[in-house]
Amino acid sequence: MAAKIQLAMAFQNRAPKVSVFTFSFFFFLLSLCFSRSSGQQGTPFACDTENNPAVAGFGFCNSSLGFEARVEDLVKRLTLTEKIGFLVSKAGSVTRLGIPKYEWWSEALHGVSRVGQGTSFSTVVPGATSFPQVILTAASFNATLFETIGKVVSTEARAMYNAGLAGLTFWSPNVNIFRDPRWGRGQETPGEDPLLSSKYAVSYVRGLQQREDGNPDHLKVAACCKHYTAYDLDNWKGTDRFHFNAVVSPQDLEDTFQPPFKSCVIDGNVASVMCSYNQVNGKPTCADPDLLAGVIRGQWKLNGYIVSDCDSVEVLYVKQHYTKTPEEAAAISISAGLDLDCGNFLGGHTEAAVTAGLVNETAIDRAVSNNAMTLMRLGFFDGNPSKQLYGKLGPNDVCTPENQELAREAARQGIVLLKNSPKSLPLSPSAIKSLAVIGPNANVTDTMIGNYAGIPCKYTTPLQGLSAIVSTSYQPGCIDVACVSAQLDEAKKIAASADATVLVVGTNQSIEAEGRDRVDLNLPGQQALLITEVAKASKGPVILVIMTGGGMDVTFAKNDDKITSILWVGFPGEAGGAAIADVIFGSFNPSGRLPMTWYPQSYVEKVPMTDMRMRPDASTGYPGRTYRFYKGETVYSFGDGLSYTDFKHHLVQAPEMVSIPLEEGHICRSSKCYSLDVVQESCQNLGFEVHLRVKNLGQRSGSHTVFLYSSPPSVHNSPQKHLLGFEKVSLEAGGETVAQFKVDVCKDLSVADETGSRKVALGLHVLHVGTLKHSLNIGV
């Protein structure tokens, strides 16, 4: 989103009290009364026939008509100037039709955000539940959790809308692939894997959009999958997102960058897709008819609107110099399939573009219709929201105890245990009488919620969470995360006398953020020195807690015997400190797995961030990217994560051979083929199931993610392995269950060829789960 909008500082350590929210509800009732009163003079709600009887005769206000008929009626009534007012995020009012102004830009990345001009907090709703940053939630590999969080966020969003504090269109989630570990916005994404990102996108979108009455045509709130496409560089060594041309092969586009967006639209039925700032292969994404009208609208059949990232249309003219005039920029964007401009560039230049004959009014009608249809599905044109399905929601439905507990649970499920020496974790609350808590992130608040956050209900810092269990002593060790000069003496002193030491280090938005990519993978400043020296001085176990959005090269800590345990906690949200304490002291058994590869520093020293290639190139020594293609050394790998118990897998069911039916005369009946085109005739009902028995061998109950991977034959420069599915199972000590996977041969086992076409590779595919491997032959 536009760099000119900055996150405001969140209130710190404000605990919610019932009396505060009761007081807020009083203000909420007053605000509704004021809205009705002012509605006699203005237009607070579209099609409010009770307070504005003149609108009763408008077809677009007739809820007995279908949405298409209502939209058609609305568009016919608008003048060209009024239509253009519907193309920008700060949509103007049309008083003569009883339509109020509407601000499209609200955000809900991991809770209702204060970023975006459509959302604000006040004494009526002073805060909203702030869940962990997406990268940590993704580490839970729990699709049910993804959707549940979405449901809670949309409920709180509707409550805030009723109070006049939020819109109904939320430009979330971010489903870009975390391609390069230096990317400042990787924290916002579900990670590096296309399947995980797709499943997260679909689940979170469903949670946001689906109504409890099950009506698929109506929306609870409208989600938006962004930033389309191949956007994963913000500002690296002089190259920024406003000028970057992502050179992407058709193969990489098909099997890496596009899948989350495709799933978002086709499986999630998302109401919007946002195009990005960057160019792809020389064309700005917001002005590329192949990517917008061709793929999103044409191939995927988007039921909704396409919106630009903020000021993107202006960027392609002013910064990229893609067109000679602003009118041309407006015209090519609308003609390419853009419906809404986050900003006012289209508002200022579209009418002149029409006058100059650069774009016709029919294209504008199409865009306005797509935008209006979305608002229709949200009930915006159905009058007073208090009389609709979610009309009774208010401040008491925000920051509920249940929602805050879910934030804590989400953090617990995402936390990843990366290292655990014998007799280290979990710590015993009865055996540990004193705990040293050290580090620049040990007592932080707003760091825990990452970016695109709102104002949390309250905070629990790591220090507060740990202090609630045992007696603690605290030293920051560094003034801030930059840690220009580590303050070692006092930190070593408390570590030397404590029964155990917890070091909480990492980054914050000053290190990795929107508009700020990293240049290395090292912990900032002298944090590594602080860790090593404190570990040397400690008399008890040393638990290193890493609070970051991206991976770090912590090889020194991994190999240091004095550091007995390592936890990665992402940016864990408002309840992060409580969740960290739950894991460290064993009231929760960790089950998170890394959603991205942690590379050594040497990797980024030889790989430019601007090189978009996913696949390795042996001729130049280019190593490739992500677990699917990179074969080099890692600090920790995608999917890594330990538990306080042990799990065993046993294959129960999987085929050894799958035959693909071919029509008579097919060339592959008489000639040797290495792959087949994915065509509907051959693929129909072509699938199988894999059943795996999972047993908890330990003495503790726990949850476990079962990953099903496939290694395809080496054709078309295919991935060395890729994820087919994952299932999260929970088992009591000694318990067992069967995890079941349905595999669609053409969808799940296909690979992209060099032209970006889908092929089923013939020959030996190896399915694997953990150390289990199973051979599967696909033939004709």
- DSSP SS3 for 9: coil
- DSSP SS3 for 770: coil
Helix (H) or strand (E) segment spanning residue 725: strand 722-731
Counts of helices then strands in the chain (DSSP H, E): 22, 27
Q: What contacts 149, CB < 8 A, 6 or more positions away?
A: 110, 131, 137, 204, 207, 406, 410
Rounded Cα–Cα distance for residues 464 and 443 (Å): 7
Instruction: Name the token pair of 692.
Output: 């795996």
Q: Could you tell me how far CA 705 lies from the centroid of its own chain? A: 19
Give strand pairing partners of 166.
none
560 as an active site residue: the answer is no
Q: What contacts 366, CB < 8 A, 6 or more positions away?
A: 339
| Residue 640 near residue 593 (C-beta atoms within 8 A) | yes
Backbone angles phi, psi at 653, to 5 degrees: -150, 130
Backbone angles phi, psi at 261, to 5 degrees: -70, -40
End-to-end Cα, the chain, rounded Å: 49
Q: Which of 180, 309, 499, 640 is catalytic?
A: 309
Give strand pairing partners of 691.
653, 740
Instruction: Name the token pair of 87.
Output: 């193309």
Kind of pairing between the strands at 279-280 and 245-246:
parallel
Instruction: Name the token pair of 27.
Output: 């203000």
How far CA 355 is from CA of 328, 346, 349, 352, 358, in Å, comes to 12, 14, 10, 5, 8
Of the candidates 257, 265, 276, the residue with the CA atom closest to the CA atom of residue 178: 257
Catalytic residues: 309
